[in-house]
Chain A
Amino acid sequence: MFEYHIDFEGQNLAEQLTQGVISCFGVIAFLVGMFFQDIRLSMYIFVAGIVVAAFMVIPAWPYLRKNPIKWLPSREKLAAAAAAAAELKQSSTSDLKDKKTA
């Protein structure tokens, strides 16, 4: 129902987004607070930065799942596929033989 996991590229992106967004809002909070001489405003802007970062990164949005890992098929599947291929080959050669004899 809900997808909680993201891929490796998404993890890298999420990390950088977290740090970038929170740092930017921190710098903006300092400058705006300094300009208006209001420490409360500064704190509100910083908390808004945390909320934005959390909203962007914590849910497993589709943009964090763009590069899913391509796993190799399991050994059993490989063996089954090999067997199927061999059978197909055999049957096709026998068909050929049938054609020749005919």
Chain B
Amino acid sequence: MNSLQNRANAVMAFSISAIFCLLGAIAFSALIIPSSPTGAVALDSIKVVTGRYDKNWQDFKTRNSEFANTIMRIDADLSSLFHWNTKQLFVYAVAEYSTPTHPKNQIVLWDTIIKRKSDAVISKRGLNNKYSLIDVNKKWTDVNANVSLHWNIVPYVGFMTYGHSKASEGYAFPLPSGIQT
């Protein structure tokens, strides 16, 4: 602390230690801030059509793969998840089902990024699924899927935390009707 440079160095070095402690405290405080998010997803209709799995895929000549097209209804109030360490929320609707060959399947139907607390109340009607709903076995016969809303809190500093709403009732997939264009 004798010379000017020495004192400047001491101030900067200690401030780095201190800001590490401050950010650590912020990171842990985010874990204990209570929140009460609510969310629900419902499927208004499910339609199964056949189509090509992918134009670059091996079965590009056939239209045997079954795609499910859904119309969703999403209601959620996630504003309580916005605390001082929330940078943004990643919100996604997930369909979960089991088949004889694969006991646990999860497919993301729709997602969005919420950056402001004022945008955290979601009320959407008539949403189509953003991503193809296709099973590994390419068939939707005898499948019962439930849907739920999941969210991921992206913090400024600290831990990524996840949560999800209660799963909806099971929806049975109908037989294929029509060809996907």
Binding site for B on A (CB under 8 A): 4-6, 10-12, 14-15, 18-19, 22-23, 26, 29-30, 33-34, 36-39, 42, 46, 49-50, 53-54, 57-60
The answer to whether B84 and A34 touch across the interface, beta carbons within 8 angstroms, is yes
Pair count A-B, CB < 8 A: 70
Give the docked Cα–Cα distance between A30 and B21 (Å): 10
**Chain A binding surface, main DSSP class:** helix
Contact residues in B for A19 (Cβ distance below 8 Å): 14
A57 and B29 in contact, given A6-B1, A38-B84 (Cβ under 8 angstroms) = no
The answer to whether B8 and A54 touch across the interface, beta carbons within 8 angstroms, is yes
The answer to whether A57 and B84 touch across the interface, beta carbons within 8 angstroms, is no
Taking CB as reference atom, which chain A residue is nearest B6?
A11
The answer to whether B4 and A15 touch across the interface, beta carbons within 8 angstroms, is no
Contact residues in B for A38 (Cβ distance below 8 Å): 84
What range describes how many residues of B lie at the interface?
Answer: 20 to 34
Which residues of B1-40 are within 8 A (CB) of A? 1-4, 7-8, 10-12, 14-15, 18-19, 21-22, 25-26, 29
Taking CB as reference atom, which chain A residue is nearest B82?
A37
Which 7 residue pairs of A and B lie closest in terms of their CB atoms, listed nearest first? A11-B1, A37-B84, A4-B4, A50-B15, A39-B84, A26-B18, A22-B18
A58 and B11 in contact, given A26-B19, A37-B83 (Cβ under 8 angstroms) = yes
Taking CB as reference atom, which chain A residue is nearest B10?
A18
Give the docked Cα–Cα distance between A36 and B83 (Å): 10
CB < 8 Å neighbour of A42 from B4, B7, B10, B84: B84
Give the docked Cα–Cα distance between A11 and B84 (Å): 38
The answer to whether B84 and A46 touch across the interface, beta carbons within 8 angstroms, is no
CB < 8 Å neighbour of B26 from A5, A36, A39, A58: A39
The answer to whether B11 and A18 touch across the interface, beta carbons within 8 angstroms, is yes
Question: Can you give 6 contacting A-B residue pairs, CB < 8 Å?
Answer: A4-B4, A11-B2, A14-B7, A15-B1, A23-B18, A34-B84
